[in-house]
């Protein structure tokens, strides 16, 4: 019998500012060396559970606890946050916000500095931890010089250095691109196996975490634990869909083909699924679902011709970039960090001017237009809604652009109300913005742009930090805009988003256009996938493993079918 | 677009090898000494002494060219302002008056004023190389550790380090916020009336302050989770023990400061007087 490291017994928690408890009757035991995944939609209480384990509750967020929680055999409420931090190491969601050192070395050392470890011993331990997470070559790099993945490695190093018993990862994939996310999961797995540490991962991206095996999955919904099962059993049950967690895509595809998912086919990993007679079923499904793509011709709206730009001399971020965006199109721009995606949108909006080359809209060179003039036709929605919101009331925020353009009060009211209805925010029109959820805030920023009636709207990571249900709502909302004639350009490395919603994907790498094609074909091109830090979708792998000769076409048919099924 | 501001560059020189704490002490003592004295002889000698480590440090002109030009501009404005507001300050100080040329109204250029302002110029010249040197040759990572060594509470010392860490991030936030504001039509350029402009700047500051508070909240959570503040003492990853060079440098600076103070006050006045009383 292994030692229990975390024991919840009929545990409940209620935040002080809230009327209802966030956690109810949690009974859960995690034993030494286990690797547990906790999934659940936003607001299910999974983050609250994590805060109870690492001590942020009650030390940073106060409230009332009921029942008992023991960490390493000791009652949590009797421990200080410092004592808890000796046992539980937490890697938070945002790799930027938790990087406190000026360099990698200092950040890893932070914990040891606080424990007043002598310098000589510290240097040794920092080195060892840096090697363990493979960041030792960057010990003197500043956070500005690192990629998201490298920052996360540093944070993990900074936690490992403290020799903790439990590693807690709070949405480790949220701000990483698909390839880096895959590497992060591999790293977590390696660290866990080498150190025998107990690992708890909190995520809603199930398929991505299951890239490496976990011992069991705990599903949370509305503050309760609704399932506590090994991966294979959970995936065979029908529970995930009910709580709004997306099951792995290859399993959805198998279900569409009429295959039943049971634990003995090893559904937990695409490489291990026993296909046998299912391959035949998939083939039949594939042949029966030949939905022809509706190829539409879009009249050109926005064009970049040979655009070159660099923040510093002789270091171009974009080189001779030429691309065309059609009217009414929904397209996505992909590429790894620093590939020039954000720069591209900033050039289109006129925040920067290209060093050479021209930008055309409706057949006119918009080079001389000011930021404000361009904003009348091109809307830009930033990733972080807090960067855009400057008013306290929702109505004022959405009206701001019109007020500044000198529109009449009557006209403003009419426009704002119309837009709020389109965005599903009309009911909240007199609310303060601070009372809205993250996804709603994001909608407010979109509404505040739409009110200016642009012809094209550019969104930077429209679904970042949102769970599947909110992702779905947001994307369906954008789709209705497209159906009404809006042109939408999305900067994203979310592969599901690309596959399901973009009609076209442009991949940037090193400042040049590497690919410009339908998403399923882009994601089927190994070379492009590698250089854009994307990864192969499991649907593609499934098609290959089933011996289908055109995997990209299979992916396309799946998406089309899935759209129809879900659209019902 | 991004000017090369005062940033530390890793180099090897006797000055770079001094610990951050030593450089901080030297900078403070040196500045105080230069502030106190108006003795031209002391200032002249100190200027020579300050240029010597500057050459020794091998810092490159382009690393500080921009800041230097800015300081020179302020220096000129300062000199002009002194003359405009107090054209006979030198006469008052030195107790004599030797006119050179009458300009207009109450403005007469005197040798005393010229000499007084020359002394101020010298003060600038004496402090400036040391200030630049301190900023250019001290590893920012050592700032906090140095302050802590001088007896500053480590929690306060660490905030210096945190500020250095997050300034670039806040700059980036500001850039994003101001871009999106401009696209909405919020104009903060000179084209707008002042009252409007102030209002517009406030509407940019609001989200900046809110995102910064959000940032601070995240950082303090992260720091707490990694045991910050649990002990009364703290060690530092980037700190170096004092070497003989540090002691020599500190000894030298003490000598210079004492000598300068003694010479300055020897005759009972902070000012060195060249002039015959008339």
Nearest to A221 by CA among A14, A46, A34: A46
- List, for residues B82-138, the tens digit of each pLDDT value: 999 999 999 999 989 999 999 888 899 999 999 999 999 999 999 998 988 888 888
Nearest to A211 by CA among A225, A228, A240, A190: A190
- List, for residues A450-477, the tens digit of each pLDDT value: 999 999 999 998 888 788 888 888 899 8
List chain B residues with pLDDT less than 70.
1-6
- List, for residues A280-308, the tens digit of each pLDDT value: 999 999 999 887 777 678 899 999 999 99
What CATH number is given for A4-243 in this structure?
3.40.50.300
Q: How many other CB atoms sit within 10 Å of the CB of residue A309?
A: 21
What kind of fold does domain A300-377+454-536 have according to CATH? Rossmann fold (3.40.50)
Distance (Å, whole) CA A499 – CA A524: 11
Tell if the CB–CB gap between B176 and A387 is shorter than 8 Å.
yes
Average pLDDT of the segment spanning A334-347: 88
Tell if the CB–CB gap between A312 and B165 is shorter than 8 Å.
no
Nearest-by-Cβ selection for A113 from B164, B184, B236: B236
Cβ neighbours of B211 in A, within 8 Å: 384, 386-387
Confidence of residue A513 (pLDDT cuts 50, 70, 90): very high
Q: What's the confidence (pLDDT) of residue B5? A: 57
Q: What's the confidence (pLDDT) of residue A157? A: 94
Q: Is the pLDDT of residue A499 over 70?
A: yes
Q: Is the pLDDT of residue A441 over 60?
A: yes
Average pLDDT of the segment spanning A89-111: 91
A434 reaches B (C-beta below 8 A): no
Percent share of chain A, pLDDT over 90:
67
Nearest-by-Cβ selection for B235 from A116, A389, A448: A116
Tell if the CB–CB gap between B230 and A387 is shorter than 8 Å.
no
Q: Position of tokens 């003197």?
A: A140
Distance (Å, whole) CA A212 – CA A227: 20
Interface of A with B in 310-369 (CB under 8 A): 311-312, 346, 349, 351
Cβ neighbours of B162 in A, within 8 Å: 100
Q: What's the confidence (pLDDT) of residue A568? A: 53
Distance (Å, whole) CA A449 – CA A397: 10
Distance (Å, whole) CA B206 – CA B212: 10
The b/e string for B217-235 (b: 16+ C-beta within 10 A; e otherwise) is ebbebbbbbbbbebeeebb
Distance (Å, whole) CA B88 – CA B221: 58
Q: Is A122 helix (H, G, I), strand (E, B) or coil?
A: helix
Q: Position of tokens 């970039």?
A: A321
Q: Does residue B256 contact residue B36 with C-beta atoms inside 8 Å?
A: no
Confidence of residue A110 (pLDDT cuts 50, 70, 90): very high
Q: What's the confidence (pLDDT) of residue A1? A: 66
Which of A121-130, A315-324, A558-567 is the least confident region?
Answer: A558-567
Average pLDDT of the segment spanning A426-430: 91
Q: How many Cα neighbours within 13 Å face the side chain of A21?
A: 15
Boundaries of every domain in chain A: 4-243, 248-288+539-568, 300-377+454-536
- List, for residues A193-249, the tens digit of each pLDDT value: 998 899 999 998 999 999 999 999 999 999 999 999 999 999 999 889 888 899 999
User: Do A4-243 and A300-377+454-536 agree at the fold level?
Assistant: yes
Quote the mean pLDDT of chain A: 91
Compare A413 and B138 and report the one with higher pLDDT: A413
DSSP states along B190-247 = TTS-HHHHHHHHHHHHHHHHHHHHHHHHHHHHHHHHTTTTSSS----SS-----HHHH
For residue B130, CA distances in Å to B11, B17, B60, B121 come to 17, 15, 15, 15
Interface of A with B in 273-312 (CB under 8 A): 311-312
Compare A135 and B241 and report the one with higher pLDDT: A135
Q: How many helices (H) and strands (E) does chain A have?
A: 23, 20
Distance (Å, whole) CA A322 – CA A320: 6
Nearest-by-Cβ selection for A60 from B206, B224, B234: B224
Confidence of residue A34 (pLDDT cuts 50, 70, 90): very high
Q: What's the confidence (pLDDT) of residue A147? A: 86
Q: Does residue A54 contact residue A90 with C-beta atoms inside 8 Å?
A: yes
Tell if the CB–CB gap between B219 and A311 is shorter than 8 Å.
no
Confidence of residue A351 (pLDDT cuts 50, 70, 90): very high
Tell if the CB–CB gap between A113 and B234 is shorter than 8 Å.
yes
Q: What's the confidence (pLDDT) of residue A277? A: 86
Average pLDDT of the segment spanning A327-344: 89
Residue A442 burial (CB < 10 Å; 0-12/13-18/19+)? buried
Q: What's the confidence (pLDDT) of residue B6? A: 62
Q: What's the confidence (pLDDT) of residue A75? A: 94
> Per DSSP, what are the bridge partners of residue A323?
A304
Q: Is the pLDDT of residue A254 over 90?
A: yes
Query: φ, ψ for residue A399 (rounded to 5)?
Result: -80, -20
Strands (E) located in chain B: 99-104, 107-110
Residue from B172, B219, B235 whose CB has the most chain A CBs within 10 Å, to mutate: B235
Read off the DSSP letter of residue B96: -
Nearest-by-Cβ selection for A119 from B161, B222, B239: B239
């Amino acid at each position: 019998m292994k030692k229990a490291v975390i024991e919840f017994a009929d545990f409940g928690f209620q935040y002080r500012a809230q009327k209802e408890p966030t956690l109810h009757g949690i009974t859960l035991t995690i034993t030494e060396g286990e690797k547990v995944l906790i999934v659940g939609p936003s607001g299910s209480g999974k983050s609250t559970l994590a805060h109870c384990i690492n001590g942020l509750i009650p030390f940073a967020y106060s409230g009332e606890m009921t029942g008992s929680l023991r960490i390493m055999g000791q009652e949590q409420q009797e421990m200080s946050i410092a004592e808890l931090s000796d046992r539980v190491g937490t890697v938070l969601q945002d790799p930027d916000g938790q990087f406190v050192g000026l360099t990698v070395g200092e950040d890893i050392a932070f914990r040891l500095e606080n424990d007043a470890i002598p310098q000589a011993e510290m240097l040794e331990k920092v080195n060892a931890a840096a090697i363990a997470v493979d960041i030792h070559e960057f010990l003197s790099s500043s956070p500005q010089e690192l990629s998201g993945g490298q920052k996360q490695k540093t944070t993990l190093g900074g936690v490992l250095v403290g020799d903790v018993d439990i590693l807690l990862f709070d949405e480790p994939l949220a701000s990483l691109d698909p390839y880096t996310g895959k590497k992060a999961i591999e790293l977590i797995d390696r660290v866990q196996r080498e150190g025998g540490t107990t690992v708890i991962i909190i995520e809603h991206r199930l398929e991505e975490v299951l890239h490496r095996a976990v011992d069991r999955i705990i599903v949370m919904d509305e503050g309760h634990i609704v399932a506590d099962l090994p991966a294979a059993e959970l995936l065979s049950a029908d529970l995930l869909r009910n709580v709004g967690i997306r099951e792995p895509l290859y399993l959805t595809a198998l279900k569409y083909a009429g295959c039943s998912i049971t634990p003995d086919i090893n559904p937990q990993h695409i490489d291990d699924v026993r296909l046998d007679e299912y391959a035949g079923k998939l083939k039949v499904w594939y042949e029966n679902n030949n939905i022809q793509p509706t190829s539409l011709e879009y009249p050109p709206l926005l064009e970049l011709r040979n655009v070159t730009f660099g923040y510093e001399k002789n270091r171009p971020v974009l080189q001779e970039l030429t691309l065309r965006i059609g009217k009414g199109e929904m397209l996505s721009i992909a590429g790894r960090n620093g590939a020039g995606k954000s720069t591209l949108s900033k050039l289109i909006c006129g925040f920067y001017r290209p060093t050479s080359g021209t930008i055309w809209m409706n057949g006119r060179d918009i080079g001389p237009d000011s930021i404000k003039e361009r904003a009348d036709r091109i809307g830009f929605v930033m990733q972080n809604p807090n960067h855009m919101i400057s008013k306290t009331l929702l109505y004022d925020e959405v009206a701001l652009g019109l007020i500044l353009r000198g529109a009449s009060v009557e006209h403003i009211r009419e426009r704002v109300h119309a837009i709020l209805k389109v965005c599903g925010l009309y009911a909240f029109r007199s609310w303060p913005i601070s009372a809205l959820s993250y996804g709603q805030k994001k909608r407010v920023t979109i509404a505040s742009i739409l009110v200016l009636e642009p012809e094209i709207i550019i969104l930077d990571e429209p679904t970042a930090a949102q769970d599947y249900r909110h992702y779905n709502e947001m994307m369906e909302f954008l789709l209705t805009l497209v159906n009404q004639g809006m042109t939408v350009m999305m900067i994203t490395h979310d592969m599901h988003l690309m596959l399901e919603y973009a009609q076209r994907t442009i991949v940037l790498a090193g400042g040049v256009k590497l690919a410009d094609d339908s998403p399923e074909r882009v994601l089927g091109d190994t070379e492009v996938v590698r250089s854009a830090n994307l990864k192969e979708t499991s649907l593609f792998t499934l098609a290959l493993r089933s011996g289908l000769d055109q995997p990209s076409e299979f992916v396309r048919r799946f998406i089309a079918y899935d759209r129809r099924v879900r659209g019902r | 677009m991004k000017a090369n501001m005062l940033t530390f560059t890793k180099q090897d020189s006797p000055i770079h090898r001094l610990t951050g704490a030593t450089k901080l002490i030297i900078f403070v003592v040196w500045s105080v000494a230069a502030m106190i004295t108006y003795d031209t002889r002391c200032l002249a000698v100190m200027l020579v002494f300050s240029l010597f480590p500057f050459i020794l440090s091998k810092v490159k002109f382009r690393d500080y060219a921009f800041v230097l030009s800015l300081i020179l501009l302020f220096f000129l404005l300062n000199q002009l302002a002194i003359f405009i507001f107090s054209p006979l300050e030198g006469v008052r100080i030195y107790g004599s008056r030797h006119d050179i040329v009458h300009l207009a109204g109450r403005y007469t250029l005197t040798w005393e004023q010229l000499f007084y302002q020359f002394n101020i110029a010298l003060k600038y010249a004496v402090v400036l190389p040391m200030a630049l040197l301190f900023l250019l040759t001290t590893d920012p990572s050592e700032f906090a550790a140095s302050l802590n060594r001088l007896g500053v509470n480590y929690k306060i010392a660490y905030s210096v380090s945190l500020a250095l860490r997050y300034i670039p991030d806040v700059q980036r936030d500001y850039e994003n916020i101001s871009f999106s504001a401009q696209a909405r039509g919020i104009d903060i350029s000179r084209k707008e009336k002042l009252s409007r402009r102030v209002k517009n700047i406030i509407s940019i500051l609001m989200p900046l302050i809110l995102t910064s508070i959000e940032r601070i909240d995240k950082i303090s959570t992260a720091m707490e989770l990694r045991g910050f503040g649990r002990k009364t003492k703290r060690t530092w990853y980037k700190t170096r023990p004092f070497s003989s060079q540090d002691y020599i440098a500190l000894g030298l600076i003490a000598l210079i400061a004492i000598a300068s103070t003694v010479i300055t006050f020897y005759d009972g006045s902070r000012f060195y007087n060249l002039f015959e009383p008339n």
